[in-house]
Amino acid sequence: MAVPAANFRMQVIAINEGLKKIERKDTILLQDNRNKIMSVVLPAYNEEAMLLKTAETLKKILQKEKIEYELVFVDDGSKDSTWKRIEEAAGADCQVRGVHFSRNFGKEAAIFAGLASASGDCVAVMDCDLQHPPAALVEMYRLWEEGYEVVEGVKKSRGKESALHRASAGMFYKLMSKATSIDMSRASDFKLLDRRAVEVLLEMPERNAFFRAMSSWIGFQSTTVEFDVQEREAGESKWSTKSLIQYAITNIVGYSAAPMQVVTGAGVVVFLLGIVLGIQTLIRYFSGHAVEGFTTVILLLLLLGSIIMISLGIIGYYISRIYEEVKGRPRYIISKRI
Ligand code: UDP
Ligand code: MG
């Protein structure tokens, strides 16, 4: 009696295996036949003037190019009627989605929230003010179709800026390029990433993310698309000099321990100076004309005091950043979705 039962079991297993094979083939066919969707993530902070125009322009261009799309607007806690505009855009087009933050968390947080909400096979990130030309977006999509997994927009020209802004941006990017060993001088947040690259970025746990550098750091097969920064048609730039300096410091510290090595460097310099001065003082003492007066002491105290304070400040800043990371608070808080 045992033999037929075993036979029967073997047959059942064979049938199951066959069914699984058919099922696998079907899913592969389904995946291949399905049209690829591009998600476009648009961080928006006080962009009521530009929002509908941006949605409309993107829709027109992508439809013309027969690219299936999804627009993900992330309202970074705007104080104007940006969210209302997003609701209007979503009402007019089912391809538009919106995420609303409980307060302003910054552009980086908005980008990451957009990446997490996007469902496309590839995800592009662009500014909500049309300063990143939509034509370049189409070019990026075509490159992605050719098999590139990370397509980075690089600035051919920086658009209109003051000389001071240009000079400080230049210095910031020089430091950042050193810190990350990636050429950042023309980098922008205008990028298109394959789903795989997006998953990798979303798995990176750091609170203080710097999208521009992280998307290059992850590697993958990448290429670049050059674009000219357009002029802002309406609304205004959200960056004040203070916020740009803050942004530069945050990102340099987030990416590099070089400032701490500066502390060591300063220590070495002071030590060498100490040896020279020490020898000179001793020689003068033994030759009968000892250094006099408080002037030398005061100068030395001031010099040492300031170097020690600056060094403590640098180390303290790193400790505060470790503290921020250890707290493990969320990068952003979403209060509404549409
Ligand atoms: N942005 C944001 N949160 C902020 C500041 C800016 O989401 O706290 C968005 C803004 O709405 C825009 C993009 O980031 O879509 C770039 O900002 P902006 O145009 O002000 O910068 P600029 O082009 O002057 O560098
Ligand atoms: Mg802009």
End-to-end CA distance of the chain: 63
Cβ atoms of 167 and 113 closer than 8 Å: no
Residue that wins the pLDDT comparison between 284 and 178: 284
The yes-or-no verdict on residue 32 having pLDDT over 60 is no
- Average pLDDT estimate for 5-21: 70
Mean pLDDT calculated for residue range 138-155: 90
pLDDT of 1 reads 46
pTM for the predicted model, two decimal places: 0.75
As a whole number, mean pLDDT of residues 126-139 equals 90
Task: Inform me whether the pLDDT recorded for 295 exceeds 60.
Answer: yes
Give 220's contacts (C-beta < 8 A, 6+ positions apart): 149, 150, 194, 196, 197
What's the chain's average pLDDT? 84
Per the CB < 8 A criterion, the answer to whether 51 and 35 are in contact is no
User: Contact, 265 vs 77, CB < 8 A?
Assistant: no
- Span 204-230, average pLDDT: 84
String of DSSP letters for 219-260: -SSEEEEEEEPPPP-SS-----HHHHHHHHHHHHHHH--HHH
Ligand nearest to the CA of 165: 1
pLDDT (average), residues 270-288: 89
Top mutation candidate among 40, 42, 45 for ligand 1, by most atoms within 8 Å of CB? 45
pLDDT for 33 equals 54
Output 93 or 334, whichever has higher pLDDT.
Answer: 334
Q: Which atom of ligand 1 is nearest to the CA of 43?
A: 7
Q: Which ligand is nearest to the CA of 41?
A: 1
Q: How many angstroms separate the CA atoms of 268 and 262, rounded?
A: 10
Å from CA of 234 to ligand 2 middle: 10
Winning range, highest mean pLDDT, from 98-112, 146-160, 247-261: 98-112
Calculate how far, in angstroms, residue 237's C-alpha sits from the geometric centre of ligand 1.
Answer: 7
DSSP state of 104: -
pLDDT band at 127 (very low <50, low <70, confident <90, very high): very high
Residue-wise pLDDT tens digits, 68-109: 899 999 999 899 899 999 998 888 888 889 999 999 988 889
At 123, the pLDDT band (50, 70, 90 cuts) reads very high
pLDDT at residue 22, rounded to an integer: 62
For ligand 1, say whether the CB of 238 is within 6 Å of any of its atoms.
yes
Calculate mean pLDDT across residues 40-50. Answer: 91
Pair of tokens at residue 31? 């995946």
Decide if 171 contacts 165 (C-beta within 8 A).
no
